[in-house]
Amino acid sequence: MKKILIALFALVPSLVLAAGPKVHLESANLDLNDQASLQRGLGYFQQYCAACHSTQYQRYGRVADDLGISVDDMRANYIPTDAKIGELMENAIPEKDAAAWFGAAPPDLTLVSRVRGPDWVYTYLKSFYQDPARPFGVNNKVFPAVGMPHVLEELQGLPVLQDDGTFVATGGKLTPEEYDQVVRDIAGFLAYSAEPVRMERERIGYWVLGFLFIFFIVALLLKKEYWKDVH
């Protein structure tokens, strides 16, 4: 609990700065029951995001269990070679070095989806655009004056912000539809990461509601039986 509170307080300053002007958030349309999407999201996160951003309140082993990934597959495809299956998911760059390069240490993203919402994460990853005035040559419509590069540029290409507020990207490996799916997969993984027990809690909730419904029927019949002679 103490670590979670620390993470929340650490996120607050960056999230306040990220608020910026009001922008329309696109719906991520996530399906957290889609394990294949969550697995892809984990893969993209580890490949493109984990060098700078950690999800340090998750463990590799727990993620593997939740997403249906075998231990051997997790070790081979998702875990850095020097990490163990039971370790927390730390980022690769030392915090001091990251702060020197980016101006501030990149925040842990374990709870970002819970704090900002999955639609914010989804829209943010789709809102980078070319801005030569910025240190990394890009800005972000959702997070103005963003202090990070567009790490997914090789997939999307370099987007140019149009007068009507839309983006046109060129030079990427993926079509716009394919890139949208990549971003949705990452947003889905971060939504799962922010609340790993959500799906289990919802599953148990249906059983609880079913029990309460049956108990209500039994209680109603008992009431009628006990009170039938009173009137």
Kindly state whether residues 37 and 86 are assigned to the same domain.
yes
Question: What pLDDT is attached to residue 110?
Answer: 94
On whether residue 201 sits in a domain, the answer given is no
Question: What pLDDT is attached to residue 208?
Answer: 78
138 pairs with which residues across the strands?
A: 130
Kindly state whether residues 104 and 213 are assigned to the same domain.
no
Kindly state whether residues 170 and 216 are assigned to the same domain.
no
Burial class of 13 by CB neighbour count within 10 A (0 to 12, 13 to 18, 19+) = exposed
Q: How many domains does the chain have?
A: 2
The letter for the amino acid at 188 is: G
Q: How many CB atoms neighbour CB 83 within 10 A?
A: 15
Question: What pLDDT is attached to residue 7?
Answer: 44
Closest by alpha carbon to 182, among 171, 194, 174? 174
On whether residue 174 sits in a domain, the answer given is yes
Q: Which residue is listed with tokens 């990149």? A: 106
Q: What is the pLDDT of residues 190-223, one digit of tens each?
A: 999 999 887 667 677 777 788 888 888 888 888 7
Kindly state whether residues 167 and 223 are assigned to the same domain.
no
Mean pLDDT score, 151-155 = 97
pLDDT at 109 over 50: yes
pLDDT at 10 over 90: no
On whether residue 87 sits in a domain, the answer given is yes
Q: Nearest 5°: phi and psi at 196?
A: -60, -30
For residue 217, give its domain range: 207-231
On whether residue 110 sits in a domain, the answer given is yes
Question: What pLDDT is attached to residue 223?
Answer: 78
Question: What pLDDT is attached to residue 94?
Answer: 72
Kindly state whether residues 166 and 225 are assigned to the same domain.
no
Question: What pLDDT is attached to residue 161?
Answer: 92
Question: What pLDDT is attached to residue 104?
Answer: 76
Burial class of 179 by CB neighbour count within 10 A (0 to 12, 13 to 18, 19+) = buried
On whether residue 202 sits in a domain, the answer given is no
Question: What pLDDT is attached to residue 17?
Answer: 41
Kindly state whether residues 230 and 163 are assigned to the same domain.
no
On whether residue 141 sits in a domain, the answer given is yes
Q: Return the DSSP state at 164.
A: T
Question: What pLDDT is attached to residue 98?
Answer: 67
86: Cα within 13 Å, side-chain hemisphere = 0
Kindly state whether residues 168 and 189 are assigned to the same domain.
yes
Q: What is the helix, strand, coil percentage profile of the chain, to 5? A: 55, 10, 35
DSSP states of 87-122 as a string?
SEE--SS-HHHHHHHHSSPPPP-TTHHHHH-HHHHH
Kindly state whether residues 108 and 215 are assigned to the same domain.
no
**Coil vs helix vs strand at 170:** strand
Kindly state whether residues 167 and 230 are assigned to the same domain.
no
Question: What pLDDT is attached to residue 231?
Answer: 59
Kindly state whether residues 153 and 223 are assigned to the same domain.
no
On whether residue 218 sits in a domain, the answer given is yes
Q: Return the DSSP state at 26.
A: P
Kindly state whether residues 140 and 168 are assigned to the same domain.
yes
Kindly state whether residues 188 and 230 are assigned to the same domain.
no
On whether residue 37 sits in a domain, the answer given is yes
Q: Helices 176-194 and 60-67 sit at what angle, rounded to 10 degrees? A: 120
